[in-house]
């Protein structure tokens, strides 16, 4: 597996693969890789001739009071995992390589899709995501890019700017990978103490309760949101950021589930902010 550390190195590598007529898959990550990431890698491996992963903790998507400095960085361990799933190359730049002195260009996705859910809670977050993903797609010359459903709003935002800017890449969304307990896999799970990790099970449990209510015939958005909220309130260590349901992928407001619907939650367990969701199929 090649380790590419500079913009020029990944440009040269992508050009070589394209010259041989190969399709390129891109899996952007911030490292601290877990089985959820590896699920994305395997999906890319199955679909593309060449797979490039990025490991880059992107400073522009973190707010001033967020965990950029503390975000787990374990590149050697990440490389071992990447090699285990047959990744061809990993792009691991320093921040100054991606945002050199004088850098002043950003991709901003306006509109309702970025002003709700995590966009409402984390101002500027999606500007950072859109900018770095645009750069990574351009540098890798990816035909396919792979993202997880856990960040379903992010997938909608990425698909929006890819279409709006006529970027020639297909965006794949891969289902959420979960631990046996039901907890959605996340790099931030390492922050959780044993007691907090047990408490965090309330996220998937609350969504499961709502999913059962939906299967039993409940269609009102307010009722489904209330079911999740009530279940979350049963866990003393849980502090709710949001419980919201919107049409998916448009993220338009609904009063009843009349089309595919994203039921999404963000909850703090101790100091750790976790997200999870389920898509209710109409």
Binding site annotation covers 31?
A: yes
249 preceded by a cis bond (ω within 30 of 0): yes
Binding site annotation covers 177?
A: yes
Q: Cite the active site residues.
A: 37
Binding site annotation covers 16?
A: no
Which position has the token pair 């921040």? 95
Binding site annotation covers 86?
A: no
Per-residue burial over 88-124, b if 16 or more Cβ lie within 10 Å, else e, is: bbbbbbeeebbbeeeeeeebebeeebbebbbbeebeb
Binding site annotation covers 37?
A: yes
Which structure tokens are listed for 172? 């794949």
Binding site annotation covers 165?
A: no
Binding site annotation covers 188?
A: yes
Query: What is the length of the chain?
Result: 282
CA–CA separation, 140 vs 43, rounded Å? 17
Binding site annotation covers 231?
A: no
Q: Are strands 261-269 and 50-55 parallel, antiparallel or unpaired?
A: unpaired
CA–CA separation, 62 vs 67, rounded Å? 7
Binding site annotation covers 149?
A: yes
Binding site residues for ATP, as ranges? 30-37, 148-151, 177, 185-188
Binding site residues, as ranges? 30-37, 61, 148-151, 154, 177, 185-188
Binding site residues for (R)-pantoate, as ranges? 61, 154
Binding site residues for beta-alanine, as ranges? 61
């Amino acid at each position: 597996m090649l380790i590419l550390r500079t913009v020029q190195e990944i440009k040269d590598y992508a050009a070589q693969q394209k010259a041989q007529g190969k399709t390129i898959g891109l899996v952007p990550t911030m490292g601290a890789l877990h089985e959820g990431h590896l699920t994305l890698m395997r999906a890319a491996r199955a679909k593309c001739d060449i797979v490039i992963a990025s490991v880059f903790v992107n400073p522009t998507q973190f707010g001033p009071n967020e965990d950029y400095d503390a975000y787990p960085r374990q590149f050697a361990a990440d490389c071992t995992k990447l090699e285990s799933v047959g990744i061809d190359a990993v792009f691991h730049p320093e921040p100054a390589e991606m945002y050199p002195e004088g850098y002043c260009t950003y991709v901003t996705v306006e509109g309702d899709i970025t002003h709700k859910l995590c966009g409402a809670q984390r101002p500027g977050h999606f500007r950072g995501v859109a900018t770095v993903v645009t750069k990574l797609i351009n540098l890798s010359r990816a035909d396919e890019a792979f993202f997880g459903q856990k960040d379903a709003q992010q997938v909608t935002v990425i698909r929006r700017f890819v279409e709006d800017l006529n970027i020639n890449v297909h965006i794949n969304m891969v289902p959420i990978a979960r631990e046996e307990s039901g907890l959605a896999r996340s790099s931030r799970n390492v922050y959780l103490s044993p007691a907090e990790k047990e408490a965090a099970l309330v996220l998937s449990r609350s969504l499961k309760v709502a999913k059962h209510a939906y299967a039993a015939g409940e269609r009102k958005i307010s009722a489904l949101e209330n079911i999740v909220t009530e279940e979350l309130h049963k866990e003393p260590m849980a502090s709710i950021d949001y419980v919201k349901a919107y049409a998916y992928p448009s993220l338009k407001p609904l009063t009843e589930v009349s089309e595919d619907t994203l039921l999404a939650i963000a909850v703090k367990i101790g100091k750790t902010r976790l997200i999870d969701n389920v898509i209710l199929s109409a």
